[in-house]
């Protein structure tokens, strides 16, 4: 049986059907309906944040937030991320300035941020990666010192907490992705969490064409609203997300049992004071020690109908659409990670036997190369 790198969590079919049935009576399918508002409220509670603004997807949430903050100049960010992060910055007419990453957590290296700040710097866009959390305390201190906005890409961090505080409560805003592949999803969707009431009002307008009221359009916005069907899926999934995260924990622990002490193979650290969500399980393969490269591992697993992903590869700074505009050699740790990281299958429904089989293949490769 094929094992994909990600498998979406789904609520019981009958439960979702019953939950959407009232939509046929109300015929209120979008434009901030009752389910949209209910999901916003429940997410504020679950994420331990003051405000949540829902969007059609995480990318538009981030892009609209950068627009709403009326930024100009340079934005310090990481190249070790999905294309969306960099695209959102560039599409707002801002210049990404790439900072290298921490070699253990793959998040932006907070110790290297300050050296990149210039008079043109207006914001920092750090990325929580694989459920690993950025150094939020150090980033906050730097931002306050230099009067910079901080907008977190928290696409991988739904449900994570740091010292008991919801991860979406840090910075000026945090973007969450509710894409079908995430720990929590609304099929497609996303959200911004923020304590800034003015930002909330601007986001409300911008995701609805810049409309202020029935007769006034005073912003140049887009159509980025979440519809009611997606909101209902979110409400259903929210009832099960804690159980799904617990199942993911068991999968991660099984992976750790098998793969923690293999020379040339590195796994994610356990972060102090962090409540994790077990979003992904990446391994880093050092071919000089492990004995074979990432592609060999990927191909061997694929031969066994097990599908993995080079996540993230290439760096956004090295993508064809940006080639020649940035120098990837300025972020060597990120470059090395992009060349070595392989994310293994990860989902709440991944069977223990399947985890064992995946790890057996990896360990057999290690054994073969050790001969």
- Both 64 and 192 in a single domain? yes
Tell me, yes or no, whether 21 lies in a domain.
Answer: yes
**How many domains, in total, are found in the chain?**
2
pLDDT tens sequence across 344-364: 999 999 999 999 999 999 999
Q: Which residues are within 8 A (CB) of 278 and not within 5 positions of it... i.e. 6 or more apart? A: 131, 183, 245, 248, 249, 251, 252, 346
Tell me, yes or no, whether 2 lies in a domain.
Answer: no
Phi, psi angles (nearest 5°) of residue 54: -85, 145
- Both 199 and 247 in a single domain? no
The answer to whether the beta carbons of residues 231 and 38 sit under 8 Å apart is: yes
Query: Does the pLDDT at position 370 exceed 80?
Result: no
Q: Is 96 left (phi over 0), alpha (psi -120 to 50) or beta?
A: beta
> Quick one: average pLDDT of 56-85?
98
pLDDT tens sequence across 326-340: 998 899 999 999 999
Rounded CA-CA distance 124/96 in Å is 9
What residues are paired with 211 via a beta bridge?
217
Phi, psi angles (nearest 5°) of residue 112: -105, 0
- Domain-terminating residue out of 198, 214, 238: 238
- Domain-terminating residue out of 189, 222, 238: 238
The answer to whether the beta carbons of residues 53 and 200 sit under 8 Å apart is: yes
Longest dimension (CA), the chain: 76
Domain holding 67, by residue range, is 13-238
Q: Encoding tokens for residue 255?
A: 């992976």
Question: Across the chain, what does the average pLDDT equal?
Answer: 97
Residue 243 Cα distances to 9, 240, 291, angstroms? 11, 5, 38
Query: Does the pLDDT at position 324 exceed 70?
Result: yes
Return the percentage of the chain with pLDDT > 70, whole number: 99
The answer to whether the beta carbons of residues 89 and 66 sit under 8 Å apart is: yes
Tell me, yes or no, whether 304 lies in a domain.
Answer: yes
Residue 238: CB atoms within 10 Å: 17
- Domain-terminating residue out of 184, 203, 238: 238
Phi, psi angles (nearest 5°) of residue 97: -120, 115
The answer to whether the beta carbons of residues 80 and 315 sit under 8 Å apart is: yes
Rounded CA-CA distance 18/310 in Å is 39
Tell me, yes or no, whether 7 lies in a domain.
Answer: no
Count H helices, E strands: the chain?
12, 13
Q: Is 342 helix (H, G, I), strand (E, B) or coil?
A: strand
- Residue-by-residue DSSP string for 258-321: HHTT-TTEEE----TTEE-----EEEEE-HHHHSS-HHHHHHHHHHTTB--B-TT-S-GGGSGG
- The DSSP output letter for 220 is -
pLDDT tens sequence across 220-267: 999 999 999 999 999 999 999 999 999 999 999 999 999 999 999 999
- Both 187 and 301 in a single domain? no
- pLDDT at res. 51: 98
């Amino acid at each position: 049986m094929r094992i994909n790198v990600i498998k979406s969590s789904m609520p019981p079919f009958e439960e979702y059907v019953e939950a959407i049935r009232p939509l046929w009576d109300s015929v209120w399918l979008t434009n901030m309906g009752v389910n949209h508002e209910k999901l916003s409220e429940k997410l504020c509670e679950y994420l331990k944040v003051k405000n949540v603004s829902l969007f059609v997807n995480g990318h538009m949430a981030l892009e609209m937030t950068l627009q709403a903050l009326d930024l100009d100049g340079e934005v310090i960010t990481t190249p070790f991320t999905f294309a969306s992060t960099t695209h959102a910055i560039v599409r707002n007419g801002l210049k990404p300035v790439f900072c290298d990453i921490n070699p253990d957590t793959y998040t932006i290296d907070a110790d290297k941020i300050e050296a990149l700040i210039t008079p043109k710097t207006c914001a920092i866009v750090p990325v929580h990666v694989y459920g690993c959390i950025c150094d939020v305390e150090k980033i906050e201190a730097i931002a306050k010192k230099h009067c910079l906005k901080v907008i977190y890409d928290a696409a991988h961090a739904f449900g994570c907490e740091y010292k008991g505080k919801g991860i979406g409560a840090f910075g000026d805003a945090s973007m969450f992705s509710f894409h079908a592949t995430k720990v929590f999803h609304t099929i497609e969707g996303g959200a911004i969490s923020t304590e800034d009431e003015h930002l909330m009002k601007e986001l409300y307008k911008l995701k609805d064409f810049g409309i202020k009221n029935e007769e006034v359009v005073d912003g140049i916005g887009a159509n980025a609203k979440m519809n009611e069907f997606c909101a209902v899926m979110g409400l259903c999934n929210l009832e099960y997300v804690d159980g799904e995260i617990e199942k993911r924990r068991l999968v991660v622990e099984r992976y750790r049992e098998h793969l923690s002490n293999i020379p040339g193979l590195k796994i994610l650290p356990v972060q102090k004071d962090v409540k994790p969500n077990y979003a992904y399980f990446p391994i880093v393969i050092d071919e000089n020690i492990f004995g074979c490269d990432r592609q060999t591992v990927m191909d061997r697993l694929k031969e066994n109908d097990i599908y993995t992903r080079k996540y993230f590869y290439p760096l956004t700074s090295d993508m064809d659409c940006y080639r020649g505009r940035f120098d990837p050699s300025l972020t060597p740790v990120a470059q090395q990670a992009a060349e070595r990281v392989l994310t293994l299958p990860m989902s709440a429904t991944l069977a223990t036997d399947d985890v064992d089989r995946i790890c057996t293949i990896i360990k057999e490769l290690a054994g073969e190369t050790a001969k």
